[in-house]
Amino acid sequence: MFYKKTQDLTDAELESAVENLVKFHEFTFFGERGVTTELGLTFAIEQLACTLGLVNDGLFEDPESDSAIMMEEFASALDKKATEMDYRPWLEVKAEIPYLPKSTLKAANDI
């Protein structure tokens, strides 16, 4: 049985996810909802992972699978796609995503 993984996402799926996450970030008033931006984006990116089919039976049945690693791979794929797109609004979002390696976040904050 085929279980979708981050590397199976199409360019169009990744581009759409990047754009939607940025729109969510720009639209949502996190403080008014009693959550930090980081927590709100955590929920949003986890929902995107579900919507794109990355949260599936394979994630839970395969002893080699790890949801934390999957989320790190997904966030890294979004970051890579946003960089390829030269999508400047991504930089504000990127700084708040907990799944990205700290070295990547430092580079975002230096811009």
Give the per-residue pLDDT at 7: 94
Give the per-residue pLDDT at 101: 77
d(CA 66, CA 51): 18
Give the model confidence (pLDDT) of 63-93 as tens digits: 777 888 889 999 999 999 999 999 999 999 9
Q: Does 35 fall in a domain?
A: yes
Q: Does 2 fall in a domain?
A: no
Q: Does 107 fall in a domain?
A: no
Q: Does 28 fall in a domain?
A: yes
User: Which residue has better confidence, 42 or 104?
Assistant: 42
Q: Does 5 fall in a domain?
A: no
Give the per-residue pLDDT at 109: 52
pTM, to two decimals: 0.84
Residues 6+ apart with CB under 8 A from 14: 77, 78, 81
How many domains would you assign to the chain? 1
Give the model confidence (pLDDT) of 42-67 as tens digits: 999 999 999 999 988 776 777 777 88
**Domain coverage including residue 24:** 10-101
d(CA 57, CA 4): 10
